[in-house]
């Protein structure tokens, strides 16, 4: 599948190379303290399954994903969306050590779930869109840059343990 | 990439009818956002005296881009032929790397989400994403 996402491709060897400005730290903490995980998570995952339908391949056991309405109303999708946001919170709380924080999750996604890591970027783009809709004009270009940088580091860490 | 279904075209036209009144604001916001979030895109605008995202030049450019998008909506049944001249402009004169079309498209989608959070549903999102990808492809047609 050709590259679909525009999230930055952050090739880092270790988090020592990821420098966060005060603005970026504060922005990430602020966003995650304001969004409702059980609203944003489900909305982002549902949007991903609709906009990039091939991602549905990982959710064969989730039942009815037939159309946008079914996806939106699917309780397993909602629950998993919330799980994802709770997982992201771990990175929010450990911004200086995201790679190690996610080592186990990376192994899980690669060895057990067999998720193509390109899909992480697709979900990241949907998360950006959903958070933008939630925050409105407060989601300025500078805030978007910080948020996308954070997600790029997360995506890179999740892809780290793939062999 | 996948071609536009009848449903995609209908969705894009209906959504555009709703939002086109704000087309200038959408374009200006998308270009401003692109310049901030993807600073490498500023390299195409070194001729602007004022490189800041909310400068008059940036706003004007956003308006121009969005007029092009609106025009593309009317030519949705044959984008390759409809955008032939624009493609020639981008290929021979502007020579914008086509990777940037995806970047600008992404920022257009982000602006839609901010300005039209209720109307920019996942169904609209997928059709608009496909449409912008098709426009980008048509714009790159004459490149080589």
Q: Which of A93, A88, A97 is nearest to A120 (CA)?
A: A88
Residue ranges of B 82-111 with Cβ closer than 8 A to chain A: 102-103, 106, 109-110
pTM: 0.89
- Interface touch A133/B114, C-beta < 8 Å: yes
Determine the pLDDT at residue A163: 78
DSSP B5: P
Q: Which of A146, A41, A162 is nearest to A95 (CA)?
A: A146
pLDDT digit string (tens) for B15-37? 999 999 999 999 999 999 999 99
- For tokens 């390759």, the residue is B80
> Is the Cβ–Cβ distance between A135 and A147 less than 8 Å?
no
> Which chain A residues are closer than 8 Å to B1 by Cβ?
2
CA distance B34 to B28: 10
> Is the Cβ–Cβ distance between A156 and A11 less than 8 Å?
yes
The shortest C-alpha distance from A137 to chain B (Å) reads 7
Determine the pLDDT at residue B93: 92
pLDDT at A161 over 90: no
Residue B73: both structure tokens together: 């909506």
Residue B120: both structure tokens together: 């920019």
Average pLDDT over residues A94-105: 96
Residue ranges of B 14-33 with Cβ closer than 8 A to chain A: 32-33
Cβ-based neighbours of B79, under 8 Å, separated by 6 or more: B72, B134, B135, B137, B138
| Longest alpha-carbon distance in chain B | 44
Average pLDDT over residues A74-100: 97
The shortest C-alpha distance from B37 to chain A (Å) reads 5
Q: Which of B35, B36, B113 sits opposite A129 (nearest CB)?
A: B113
Residue ranges of B 51-80 with Cβ closer than 8 A to chain A: 53
Residue A81: both structure tokens together: 């969306």
Average pLDDT over residues B97-113: 96
CA distance A144 to A139: 6
Measured CA distances, B23 to A128, B10, B29, B38, B113 (Å): 22, 19, 10, 22, 14
Q: Give me the DSSP letters along B98-114.
A: THHHHHHHHHHHHHHHH
> Is the Cβ–Cβ distance between B127 and B6 less than 8 Å?
no
* Phi, psi for B59 (deg, rounded to 5): -65, -45
Determine the pLDDT at residue B34: 97
Determine the pLDDT at residue A2: 43
CA distance A104 to B104: 35
pLDDT at A76 over 70: yes
pLDDT digit string (tens) for B59-100? 999 999 999 999 999 999 999 999 999 999 999 999 898 999
> Is the Cβ–Cβ distance between B75 and B15 less than 8 Å?
no
ipTM: 0.85
pLDDT at A7 over 70: no
Nearest CA in chain A to B113: A133
Chain A to chain B Cβ contacts (< 8 Å): 58
A-side interface with B, Cβ within 8 Å?
Answer: 2, 6, 46-47, 50-51, 68, 71-72, 125, 128-130, 132-137, 139-142, 144-145, 148
CA neighbours within 13 Å on the CB side: how many for B84?
A: 3
pLDDT at A4 over 50: yes
pLDDT at A1 over 90: no
* Percent of chain A scoring above 90 in pLDDT: 80
CA distance B113 to A133: 5
């Amino acid at each position: 599948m050709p590259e679909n996402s525009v999230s930055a491709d952050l090739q880092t060897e270790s988090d020592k190379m990821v420098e966060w400005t005060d603005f970026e730290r504060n922005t990430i903490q602020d966003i995650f303290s304001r969004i409702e995980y059980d609203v944003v998570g489900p909305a982002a995952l549902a949007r991903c399954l609709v906009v990039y339908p091939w991602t549905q391949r990982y959710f064969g056991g989730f039942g009815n994903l037939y159309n946008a309405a079914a996806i939106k109303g699917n309780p397993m999708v909602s629950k998993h969306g919330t799980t994802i946001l709770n997982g992201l919170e771990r990175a929010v709380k450990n911004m200086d050590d995201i790679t190690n924080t996610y080592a186990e999750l990376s192994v899980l996604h690669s060895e057990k779930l067999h998720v193509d890591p390109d899909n992480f970027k697709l979900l990241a783009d949907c998360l950006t869109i959903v958070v933008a809709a939630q925050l409105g004009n407060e989601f300025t270009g500078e805030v978007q840059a910080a948020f996308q940088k954070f997600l790029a580091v997360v995506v890179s860490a999740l892809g780290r343990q793939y062999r | 990439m996948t071609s536009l279904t009848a449903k995609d075209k209908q969705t894009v036209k209906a959504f555009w009818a709703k939002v086109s009144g704000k087309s200038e604001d959408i374009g200006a916001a998308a270009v401003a956002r692109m310049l901030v979030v993807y600073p490498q895109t500023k390299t195409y605008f070194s001729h602007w005296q004022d490189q800041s995202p909310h400068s008059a030049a940036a706003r004007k450019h956003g308006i121009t881009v969005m007029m092009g998008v609106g025009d593309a909506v009317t030519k949705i049944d044959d984008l390759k032929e409809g955008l032939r001249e624009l493609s020639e402009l981008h290929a021979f004169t502007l020579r914008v790397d086509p990777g940037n079309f995806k970047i600008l498209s992404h920022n257009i989608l982000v602006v839609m989400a901010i300005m039209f959070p209720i109307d920019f549903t996942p169904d609209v999102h997928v059709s608009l994403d496909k449409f912008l990808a098709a426009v980008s492809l048509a714009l790159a047609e004459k490149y080589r």
